[in-house]
């Protein structure tokens, strides 16, 4: 009888210890917009492995690729609410139109400028972190993606000439900067969610896509991309996000592990992003797309038009005093 009671007590103690361990462990859902095995999926998986190793399995990160948890605009809202724990994705301006500043076309023209403007500790990063904080979201790090271009499903005459009226309709993200840019360089901007873009091109609703770059077009649009125009329309930066309350529930060591893995996630990407852009342009070409030639003169002319026609309207839309103050700090 005593032996039986001893076994029961031991079992109860073991079960109690197990419950405590499980309560301390956390599995965080992380959403991103690309299919499995793409560059961001590989880097996000490595980030998850580093977090798991650094916390001895107490914090696990489960990856949900290909917008499995919803369009990135919806995911941002759900991260703010805590319905989704984490995401790595572009900012959505639907909740705060000031995020349009991040997408200012021709804000930077080369990779050195991009790293100076967008890297950790820069004025732009601080502004982005403040905007996300208002939505109950913490920025852990970032992932530089590419300089943007235009994917076309048909031959468009004078595609690289910003003064030519092309009559071609482009899907653009539901962000004012993109529609204004398309409209002012001879295209017709048609705002559509990312999740609807492929079908829109495939069915002829639009003639192409703007708002991504070679990486995005190869990952998600290569079957409907016949021409690629590397016009450097904007610099795309994705942010590694976590709900603020969920982050606060982690202990100090777990937070430190998450931050260290996020730093490595960003540092490693800056080292590979430039080469990755060239590699993805080559992959698009191998998939059957024609890479249209674009001269520095055409890019500079496009930038001049966009800065003159688009910037003032965007700046006024998001608040001229705030936007000009940020741009003054960013452009120093």
Residue 331: its pLDDT value, please?
85
16 within domain boundaries:
no
138 contacts: CB under 8 Å, gap ≥ 6: 129, 132, 241, 242, 243, 244, 247
- CATH code, 262: 3.40.190.170
The DSSP H or E segment spanning 293 is: none
Distance CA 76, CA 179 (A): 21
Q: Report whether 329 contacts 123 (CB < 8 A).
A: yes
Report the predicted TM-score, pTM, of the whole model to 2 decimal places: 0.86
Residue 24: its pLDDT value, please?
62
Instruction: Using 70 as the pLDDT threshold, list the residues of the chain that sit under it.
Output: 1-24
285 within domain boundaries:
yes
Percent of the chain with pLDDT over 90: 89
Note down the domain range covering 131. Answer: 26-331
5 within domain boundaries:
no
User: Mind giving me the DSSP string for 91-131?
Assistant: --TTS-GGGGGGG-TTS--SHHHHHHHHSTTSHHHHHHHHH
Please tell me the total count of domains within the chain.
1
2 within domain boundaries:
no
Task: Specify the 3-state DSSP secondary structure of 151.
Answer: strand
Nearest CA to 65 among 39, 30, 28, 26? Answer: 30
Nearest CA to 72 among 222, 250, 211? Answer: 211
Residue 23: its pLDDT value, please?
40
17 within domain boundaries:
no
């Amino acid at each position: 009888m005593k032996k039986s009671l001893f076994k029961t007590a031991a079992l109860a103690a073991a079960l109690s210890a197990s419950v405590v361990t499980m309560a301390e462990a956390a599995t965080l859902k992380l959403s991103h917009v690309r299919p499995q095995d793409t560059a961001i999926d590989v880097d996000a998986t490595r980030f998850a492995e580093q977090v798991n190793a650094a916390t001895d399995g107490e914090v696990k990160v489960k990856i949900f690729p290909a917008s499995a948890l919803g369009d990135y605009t919806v995911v941002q809202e759900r991260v703010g609410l805590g319905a989704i724990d984490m995401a790595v994705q572009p900012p959505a301006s639907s909740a705060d139109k000031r995020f349009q500043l991040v997408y200012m076309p021709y804000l930077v023209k080369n990779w050195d400028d991009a790293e100076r403007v967008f890297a950790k500790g820069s004025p732009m990063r601080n502004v982005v972190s403040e905007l996300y904080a208002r939505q109950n979201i913490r920025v852990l790090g970032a992932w530089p993606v590419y300089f943007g271009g235009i994917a076309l499903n048909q031959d468009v005459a004078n595609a690289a000439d910003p003064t030519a009226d092309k009559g071609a309709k482009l899907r653009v993200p539901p962000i004012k900067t993109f529609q204004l840019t398309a409209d002012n360089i001879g295209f017709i901007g048609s705002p559509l969610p990312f999740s609807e873009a492929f079908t829109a091109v495939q069915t002829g609703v639009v003639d192409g896509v703007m708002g991504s770059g070679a990486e995005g077009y190869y990952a998600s649009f290569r079957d409907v991309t016949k021409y690629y125009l590397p016009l450097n329309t904007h610099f795309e930066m994705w942010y590694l996000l976590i709900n603020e309350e969920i982050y606060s529930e982690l202990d100090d060591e777990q937070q430190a592990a998450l931050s260290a893995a996020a730093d490595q996630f960003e540092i490693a990407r800056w080292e590979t992003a430039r080469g990755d852009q060239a590699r993805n342009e080559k992959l698009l070409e191998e998939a059957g797309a024609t890479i249209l030639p674009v001269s520095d003169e055409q890019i500079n002319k496009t930038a001049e038009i966009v800065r003159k026609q688009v910037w003032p309207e965007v700046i006024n839309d998001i608040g001229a005093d705030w936007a000009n103050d940020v741009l003054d700090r960013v452009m120093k």
